[in-house]
Amino acid sequence: MKIELTTGWLKFAIGWGAVFLFRLLPFRPPNFEPMLATMMPFSKRFGLLGSFLFGFLGIVLFDAVTSGWGTWTAVTAIAYGTLGAGSCFFFKNREASVKNFLSFGIAGTLFYDAVTGLTIGPIFQGQSFMVALTGQIPFTLMHLLGTIVFATLLSPALYRWVVQSEKLELSVIFPKFVKIGNK
């Protein structure tokens, strides 16, 4: 009997680690983060469940370490998980190009900001919808700027140097630990 472990988990950890560390940078502009831009190239490799978990667990683990869990964690984790699943479907028959990263990134950012920015305040904080909408506009513009920068520069680089890299496969780095079992 031969047991083979999935060899892409190192790449998954690199993606999560990069997003996590960037989000910890002090003095970075609000809502200027690489989560979606990192998730998009990874969705070409990790399928529906992996893509959902990349976004969902990325938020859950970050909140666990930084701010703690709250209602915002559930809403934002589900929203990013849904974006991961949507990214998987979008890129299934499309090439990993700057144009496609920008297309999905912009639409995904608008979806994410509408779901999170227009629900958390009004539903959980008693904020009026108009106050939430008015406050969301500059926040979304900054988020879109970050998406455009990261989708143009980071997404293609991650796809080429991490997702497609055979050197980062666990079977290459630790060949004896990946294949366990009888010959």
State the architecture of 29-165 in CATH terms.
Orthogonal Bundle (1.10)
Residue 92 buriedness (CB in 10 A; 0-12 / 13-18 / 19+): exposed
For the segment 18-77, what is each residue's pLDDT rounded down to a tens digit?
888 998 898 888 888 899 999 999 898 888 998 999 999 999 999 999 988 988 899 999
Instruction: Look at residue 45 in the predicted model and tell me its pLDDT.
Output: 81
Exposure string over 139-170, b if 16+ CB within 10 A, otherwise e: ebeebbebbbebbbebbbebbeebbeeeebbb
Q: Which amino acid is at 41?
A: P
Indicate the pairing of strand 179-181 with strand 2-4: antiparallel
Instruction: Look at residue 126 in the predicted model and tell me its pLDDT.
Output: 85
User: Comparing 8-12, 13-17, 63-67, 176-180, which segment has the lowest mean pLDDT?
Assistant: 176-180
Residue 118 buriedness (CB in 10 A; 0-12 / 13-18 / 19+): middle
User: Which 3 state secondary structure label does DSSP give 3?
Assistant: strand
| Domain chopping of the chain, boundaries | 29-165
For the segment 117-138, what is each residue's pLDDT rounded down to a tens digit?
898 888 888 889 999 899 899 9
For the segment 76-112, what is each residue's pLDDT rounded down to a tens digit?
999 999 999 999 999 999 999 999 999 999 999 999 9
- Which residue in 100, 9, 5 sits closest to 46, CA to CA? 9
Cα distance between residue 154 and residue 38, in whole Å: 7
**Encoding tokens for residue 145?**
């700027």
User: Which 3 state secondary structure label does DSSP give 175?
Assistant: helix
Cβ-proximal residues to 33 (8 Å cutoff; 6+ apart), any chain: 19, 22, 23, 146, 150
8 Å CB contact between 5 and 60 = no
Three-state SS across 108-173? HHHHHHHHHHCCHHHHHCCCCHHHHHHHHHHHHHHHHHHHHHHHHHHHHHHHHHHHCCCCCCHHHH
Instruction: Look at residue 9 in the predicted model and tell me its pLDDT.
Output: 73
